[in-house]
Amino acid sequence: MDKTNTKIQENKEYLTTLDQAIGDGDHGINISRGFQEVMNKVSGQAYEHVADVMKDVAMTLMSKVGGAAGPLYGTAFLKLSMTFKGQDVDYALFSQGIEDALNGVKQRGKSDTGEKTLVDVWSAVSERLKQEEKFDGSVLEETARTAMENTKDTLATKGRAAYLKERSIGHLDPGSVSSFYLFEAFAEVINEGE
Amino acid sequence: MSTVGLVLISHSPKIVEGVKDIISQVVQNVSIELAGGTDDGQIGTSIEKIQAAIEQAKGEKGVLLIYDIGSAKMNAELAIEMSGLDSIEIAEVPLVEGAYVAAVESGMNKTLEEVKASVEKGF
């Protein structure tokens, strides 16, 4: 119970950090609003399992984010919730959760790696997690950062940016940036926990 | 109503209102429900609005969803999954023209499959 509670506290921290990071950004009015609603929903609540937090996050994002990030992040957190259901989250389960979330996002957006979407960051993180055996905040952050930066030179073929064709090259994909913030925040929580 | 219901999904409330205005000139016996904009009327789509519209539009013959861009389709698919209905489909057509043709076809008492097939054939 104590371990579960600690994890929930970590998740609260990480969601707060995420909202601050994104709310200060120049993109993503929708997603900052969504995560603000998430904070309103989960802060002060007593959760027994991480899965329950993830589910509340998913439902809030789905209903409050107006853009594509709503169903995409909503699906990701819903998959995490399903994978974590009723269990304490150790490294193996976390890694599995990220892989399941990635597959959920791919399916929802009918997208794959290399299309300049948040899938690029999630798939890089998922692959790296599989190679490692324990939580390492700096590895996690570096992996997400590199994947995010790589989206800059990619031609968008999915989402609204795809309409811009070649004009999309040279710009970071916002979904990858917000996903990077998410993993960066999580990495910070891991580092603080050490 | 005994005709196939329509749900029009757009990022803008004004777009779907306008499309409904156009259709209303020629078709009156079809339930046309709107899911335009976010839950506070901003640009975007709302799964809750889509779900509510589906509830209103579904009749004996089911409901056809027509959407514009981006998140509209993903939220439409999510709403369908959550609705648990069998007689519900998404049409892959331009919103304005597709909704118009769908309303005319539905108004002639066609089935959901017939309405979907004939609008998609047209584009």
Q: Does B43 touch chain A (CB under 8 A)?
A: yes
- Domains contained in chain B, CATH given: 5-121 (3.40.50.510)
Cα A39 to chain centroid, rounded:
15
A171: part of which helix (H) or strand (E)? none
- pLDDT, one tens digit per residue, over A73-119 is 999 999 999 999 999 889 999 999 999 999 999 999 999 999 988 99
Q: What is the pLDDT of residue A122?
A: 97
CB < 8 Å to A109, chain B: 74
- pLDDT, one tens digit per residue, over A11-49 is 555 655 555 554 333 346 677 778 888 888 888 888 888
- Helix, strand, or coil (residue A41): helix
Task: HSE, CB side, 13 Å, CA atoms: give it for residue A40.
Answer: 10
Q: What is the pLDDT of residue A58?
A: 93
Whether the CB-CB separation of A47 and A32 falls below 8 Å is answered with no
pLDDT-derived band at A143, boundaries 50, 70, 90: very high
**CA-to-CA dists, residue B92 to A116, B44, B71, B73, B111, angstroms:** 24, 19, 14, 10, 17
DSSP B21-85: HHHHTT--SS-EEEEEB-TTSSSSB-HHHHHHHHHHH-BTTBEEEEE-STHHHHHHHHHHHHH--
**CA-to-CA dists, residue A146 to A98, A123, A139, A149, B64, angstroms:** 18, 12, 11, 5, 43
Q: Is the pLDDT of residue A50 over 70?
A: yes
Residue among B4, B5, B8, B11 flagged as catalytic: B11
Mutation target for A interface from B11, B47, B50: give the one with most A CBs within 10 A: B47
Contact state of B39 with A64 under an 8 Å Cβ cutoff: yes
Query: Among residues B37, B83, B47, which one has the least CA distance to residue B62?
Result: B83
Q: Is the pLDDT of residue A7 over 60?
A: no
> Which residue do the tokens 């981006």 mark?
B70
Out of B47, B48, B71, closest to residue A68 by CB: B71
Known active-site residue B11:
yes
pLDDT in tens, chain B (123 residues): 689 999 999 999 999 999 999 999 999 999 999 999 988 888 889 999 999 999 999 989 999 999 998 789 999 999 999 898 999 999 999 999 999 999 999 999 999 999 999 999 988
Query: Among residues B15, B14, B32, which one has the least CA distance to residue B23?
Result: B32
Contact state of A63 with B48 under an 8 Å Cβ cutoff: yes
Say whether pTM exceeds 0.95. no
CB < 8 Å to B70, chain A: 67-68, 159-160
